[in-house]
Amino acid sequence: MAQDLRILSSIAKVFLRKVGRVHERRQSNPEVGEVLQITEEGTNRTIFYLVTKKASYQKPNYEDVWNGLCSLREVLLAEDLRKLAIPKLACGLDNLD
């Protein structure tokens, strides 16, 4: 796990430390544009991971970010979730606006 932390962005590191369980979702080999969902045990909070690139060292493009957001919208509507907190996406190290 320590090796994995070195290649993750700073926001991914924070989520991995606070939430964990990311690796169990990665093993399902998600496609770019999919949404991974983790529900925290003992809370009603759900964490959604947008898959915007195949590998952590790659750069996403606007189309893949858009497809991830569309997938997220479908999940939110299907589960009747009405509140969402989301950080800025694909900026910083990913170099998108």
Domain range 2-84, CATH architecture: 3-Layer(aba) Sandwich (3.40)
Burial class (CB in 10 A: 0-12, 13-18, 19+), 32: middle
pLDDT at 5 over 60: no
Q: How far apart are the first and last CA of the chain?
A: 30
Residue with tokens 């700073």: 10
Burial class (CB in 10 A: 0-12, 13-18, 19+), 52: buried
On whether the CB atoms of residues 51 and 36 are closer than 8 A, the answer is: yes
What confidence tens digit (pLDDT) does each residue in 61-90 have? 899 999 999 999 999 999 998 888 887 888
On whether the CB atoms of residues 63 and 43 are closer than 8 A, the answer is: no
Residue with tokens 């430390």: 17
Residue 78 pLDDT: 95
Residue 21 pLDDT: 61
